Structure 1
């Protein structure tokens, strides 16, 4: 009897221990809400190939609140810079946006779409909004993304009397996560057509490499446009002093190397 009792007790102990282990090993339930963010230092701020920081270094930060259903809201900001650029955003920029992202059945495609607002506290005449949408798909270590941003008729186009009262931006991106390394190679090409033309309807591009260590990412990219010196001299823009300045017009659009260090949480 003692032996049987000892065996039964041992079996009960093992079963209990197993249950505890299984409970401890069980994955945690997905939280309803998730908060993520980042802070970065960049050698200069380029938006769709055009310098927004007079080719000078600045700081940037973002924070996103996501729901497990796929809905999210976020904000992104870039610090103020001074200079004599042909691009006057009034110093700092604050973007506010929200949308929905979700996998499309068993296609392997992920949809992301929503509304994006660009706010400029130092120059509110520049403020505008866009509707955006994109599709992303992974092919092993390669990720492909195609999307568009549409800015419908609004006060920006009316105030600046742009020839076209809307803007369309289309882009395509490729990323390669190099297997068994913390390195990612990425490329982007975009097309701006409409009220946000810079000198002319133009293409922008980015090609770079990122290195990730823990929550830090170091990136070096070539960024530029197909706007040449001849384009800038044919249709120079006005600088911050009110002068037509072909040199500054080209400087904001020429190809440059951009270095950034981003911390994510």
Structure 2
């Protein structure tokens, strides 16, 4: 459930959030086999809980880091907040616009040029063609991809795709900026450029949710951190305290 918030201060509220996936036990080679097995009642599933009873309240303008091992539920949580997934149970209440950078290349067509993909990705985010035309030069200049603007992005490196995606998603001030690991593929100079833009957005009231395995980056950007373990909250609180506890456990 995703609804509007009427409580002062909180821009995101998560209540008893659970996300369950059904994983097929049997192997099948395609959709036809899947349908046949399902029609004969032979298709069995294992339940997998990506998240279980997660509770969290985030205030407008806060920067939250989300950390944890692979498979701990970090990306699932971001997709639920973004509205990509619908929770199995519990509720998510979100107020405001979201600029999601969750999967590298999401909203892009690899066969199209960077120029064409700017307008395509803008449409996916809900912007008009005219709006994208007005912001086109700013996007290209920030991405530093002027020389490659008419090259199909299937020929781009992962870092170039990340540059383009970040430049589009942050061209205007969103209420909530969601970033999942994609900055890790960029070079150091562009990462610093992105961090400065995020800081500027936060100073102007944007809420940031930042997922990264680089604890130093999390501490640099975020004042608060949520640590997930096996889909449940392991620890939540001050960035330095949570990150230190996480690093100590990783060393054991």
Shared fold by TM > 0.5?
no
Higher strand fraction: Structure 1 or Structure 2?
A: 1
Q: Larger RCO: Structure 1 or Structure 2 (Cα < 8 Å, ≥ 6 residues apart)?
A: 2
Larger-gyration structure (1/2):
1
Higher helix fraction: Structure 1 or Structure 2?
A: 2
The interval holding the TM-score normalised by the smaller chain is: under 0.3
- TM-score, reference length from structure 1: 0.27
- TM-score, reference length from structure 2: 0.28
